[in-house]
Amino acid sequence: MTGKNAMKTIAVYALKGGVGKSTFAVNLAWASAALSKRRTLLWDLDPQGAATWLLKPAKMVKDAAQAVFAKDIDALELCRHTDIEGLDLLAADTSLRGLERMLIDLGKRKRLAKLLESLDKQYDRVVLDCPPGLNETSDQVLHAADLLVVPVIPSPLVEKTLDDLSTFLIQRGEKHPPILPVFSMVDRRRKLHQASLAEHPDWPAVPYASIVEQMGNKRLPLGVFASSSAPAREFATLWAQIEHKLAN
The full set of domain ranges for the chain reads: 8-247
Question: With a threshold of 0.85, does the pTM exceed it?
Answer: yes
Residues 203-232 have pLDDT tens digits of 999 999 999 999 999 999 999 999 999 999
- Looking at residue 29, its pLDDT comes to 98
Average pLDDT over residues 8-32: 95
- Looking at residue 5, its pLDDT comes to 56
Burial of 151 (0-12, 13-18, 19+ CB in 10 A): buried
- Looking at residue 134, its pLDDT comes to 84
Number of H helices, E strands in the chain: 12, 8
- Looking at residue 3, its pLDDT comes to 42
Indicate the range of 74-83, 141-150, 163-172, 175-184 predicted with least confidence: 163-172
For the four alpha carbons of 154, 160, 163 and 167, in that order, the dihedral sign comes to negative
Residues 136-172 have pLDDT tens digits of 888 899 989 999 999 999 987 777 888 888 888 878 7
Burial of 56 (0-12, 13-18, 19+ CB in 10 A): exposed
- Looking at residue 1, its pLDDT comes to 40
Q: Please report the beta strands in 80-120, taking only residues with DSSP state E, as ranges in sequence order.
A: 80-81, 87-90
Please name the amino acid found at residue 138. Answer: S
Residues 34-44 have pLDDT tens digits of 999 999 999 99
Domain 8-247 belongs to what topology? Rossmann fold (3.40.50)
Q: How confident is the model at residue 114 (pLDDT cuts 50, 70, 90)?
A: very high
- Looking at residue 58, its pLDDT comes to 65
